[in-house]
Amino acid sequence: MQLMMAAFYRRKHLRRLDKIKPKLRSIIYLVTICSLDRKPILTREDIFKTVTETLEEVAERKRWLVGRYVMMPDHIHFFCSPVTEDWGLSEFVRDFKSLSSTRLRKQGFEGKLWQREFFNHLLRSKESYASKWEYVRLNPVRKGLCESPEEWRFSGEVYPVEAK
């Protein structure tokens, strides 16, 4: 048992379910990506615009549907679902982070934008989707950034992604 625990703590990357084979239409992930060192820069108007446009473009190119999203000052939450069986969540997120960083550097942003890892949660039911969306949409209210989620302008929806 001690040997297994030692191996667990030596692991350098978060484990994730990157490729699974249930019915494709039922796969929905909640993804969270944090800015490097949790710097509160993502709600700067220019950065927000570039990040959301890049997310939409990479999703289309990689054949992913991105649904609702909320951008917080130091992280972004979004729901996404693959369009085809030839997909990889890590590849999709890697390409999004890379292209958004490249575009922001060209606009004068210095340094790295994103943390190396990201977090994902595979939704298992319609109730899970509703519950996770409620948590995500209330995030700015809990942090004292607005009075109601409708006031938060750094959120939206690219494509309606609902649990089946």
CATH of residue 141: 3.30.70.1290
The model's pTM: 0.81
pLDDT value at position 147?
97
Establish if 2 belongs to a structural domain: no
Q: Could you read off the pLDDT of 41-83 as tens digits, one per residue? A: 999 999 999 999 999 999 999 999 999 999 999 999 999 999 9
* Count of domains observed in the chain: 1
The alpha carbon torsion through 103, 105, 108, 110 (nearest 10 deg) reads 150
pLDDT value at position 54?
97
| CA quadruple 132, 137, 138, 139: dihedral sign | positive
Torsion angles phi and psi, residue 77, rounded to 5 = -110, 135
pLDDT value at position 1?
46
Question: How much is the mean pLDDT over the chain?
Answer: 85
Q: Could you read off the pLDDT of 120-146 as tens digits, one per residue? A: 999 987 768 889 999 999 999 999 999
Establish if 16 belongs to a structural domain: no
pLDDT value at position 142?
97
